[in-house]
Amino acid sequence: MKPLPKLLSKTKIMRGFRCLKAIYLTIHRPELEPAVGPEQQAVFDIGNKVGEVARTYFPGGVLVDNKPWDFGGSLKRTRELLKEGTEFIYEAAFDYKGCYARADILKYSKATNRWTLYEVKSSTKVKSEHLEDVGLQAWIIANSGIQLEKICVLHLNPECRFPDLKNLFVEVDVTDRLRENYREITPKLNAIFGAIRNPAPPETDIGPHCSLNRACEFKSVCFAERNIPEVSIFDIPRLGDKVWDFYRKGQLELKDIDTSDLNVVQKRMVEAHVSGKAFVDKKAVKNAIKSWEYPLVYLDFETINPPIPCYPGCAPYQQVPFQFSVHIQEVPGGELEHKEFLHDSASDPREL
């Protein structure tokens, strides 16, 4: 059994709030956690970029720029800035009873001698998981001795349009909404620390929590332990919580389930797999082809959706095409003519 870390980061604690087995494996079996892939790294990069931009709306602040793993150095630097009465602190670090969190932005009010906590989110609205996240953060900060006057979530404004970015962020005061969360934190933390002190992982079954908000890092580990087949009920498209009804009945194979409550598309998928025969609606295909008029144009295009809009008239996450490939067929059986475009500069790709 590995020695326990002196401090658990907010990220790890949030993982434990979702699943005690996940936090146990994080601490004691980190080798089971897959490396961060490009898709998840892109999510992290977006969050970091939005956080950096948010600081520019609170100018003149000081960044606690110690390395992410330097908990002690970050805590020390934060204490220095707090003592100096720094108006804006970015990435301030706090700890309480083995828990560690960093604040995106702290704003000091000399008039009240209190602080406002701003948690920056790259979404375009406040989500329920954001409240749990910022609630834990505020709990750690407040218990470390900081008087919090207000707790806010800053999220991207879907109504903002480039180049006018004055209203890029929406400030939502969640102070009152977090009061219920505080009461739940201590028992949840007790469960987490109890779980990671045990020599064996908790007996936690798989369930909806495995994919809550996003898939758990250890989902494949737990699914393998439960002998989930390579093709299973979890591959049925858009099944939602119905999949857990099948699971609780022990029906994992597609051949074992009652399809009467499935929709047409789901039934086709199950029947095709069980029979081993591909489903092709030849009549529908034939009718569709009959309706086509020449010339036929086969178009494929790619887009980007930057969180911080950078082209005229664009909102956060608005899709902007930057590449296309098109094949044109003038007559039945005729040869295909190909045209393509790839925008390879930072200018507006919509201006051809």
**Total Cβ atoms within 10 A of residue 117:** 24
At 265, list the tokens: 């598309």
Exposure letters 289-299 (e unless 16+ CB within 10 A, then b): eeeeeeeeeee
The confidence band for 181, taking pLDDT boundaries of 50, 70 and 90, is confident
Q: Is 63 exposed, middle or buried (0-12, 13-18, 19+ CB in 10 A)?
A: middle
Amino acid 339 reads K
Instruction: Quote the pTM value.
Output: 0.91
What pLDDT does residue 122 have?
98
301-332 tens-digit pLDDT: 999 999 999 999 999 999 999 999 999 999 99
Residue showing tokens 């706090």? 94
Per-residue pLDDT at 92 exceeds 90? yes
What pLDDT does residue 76 have?
98
Nearest to 118 by CA among 177, 166, 57, 64: 57
